[in-house]
Structure 1
Amino acid sequence: MEIYHNPRCGKSREALKLLTEKGIEPDIKQYLKEIPTHAELEDVIKKLGISPEELIRKNEKVFKELYKGKKLSDSQWIEAMIAEPKLIERPILINGDKAVVGRPPEKVLEII
């Protein structure tokens, strides 16, 4: 299992705590430091079963300044997340061929 984690995010910390309380120690990917590649994001989005735009944090300042109201292709949204990884919704737990966004944090328990 792997978790896309931001240690500064309360929801992300909560999700990780829930997992460790269940005895699960996922591989932690601090995606703000280890920015995912285009292929990695495509894979995660496919496992989530959503569109790239649905993985965008629309309340982020950078979204409002650069992307709000724009119509981008799936590939362009992925490139936006690579350029500005703060845009990636978090936390994301990946377990095999499944993934879930931990909003609320308890959602991560759905795929363990």
Structure 2
Amino acid sequence: MSWFILFVAGLLEIGWAIGLKYSDGLTRFWPSVATLLALIVSFVLLGVALKHLPVGTAYAIWVGIGALGTALLGVFLFSEAVSPLKLISLGLICIGIVGLKLAHS
């Protein structure tokens, strides 16, 4: 269950990172509220997951999910540039996430 909670926390990290863009620097009220809620819930869930998972592994996976998802959504939602090196780098992050999970099992 801790792994699922960590995964949801990672998804919410994507949500608050993208929310920062939509909130226009926390100057738009409702996007800012949604961003802050996602941030709080993400941190709380990370804390819950850390009760049963090693901090280094859990934090790295949480950040990795957030970085990977935010970078991909940046491409799709905001037309950010894509290059072969960017895609390879994102693939390496994905491999790192899977590797950390497998190393803990």
**TM-score when scaled to structure 1?**
0.25
Q: Larger C-alpha radius of gyration, 1 or 2?
A: 2
* More contact order relative to length (CA 8 Å, sep ≥ 6): 1
TM-score, with normalisation over the residues of structure 2?
Answer: 0.26
Between structures 1 and 2, the one with greater strand share: 1
Decide which structure has greater helix share. 2
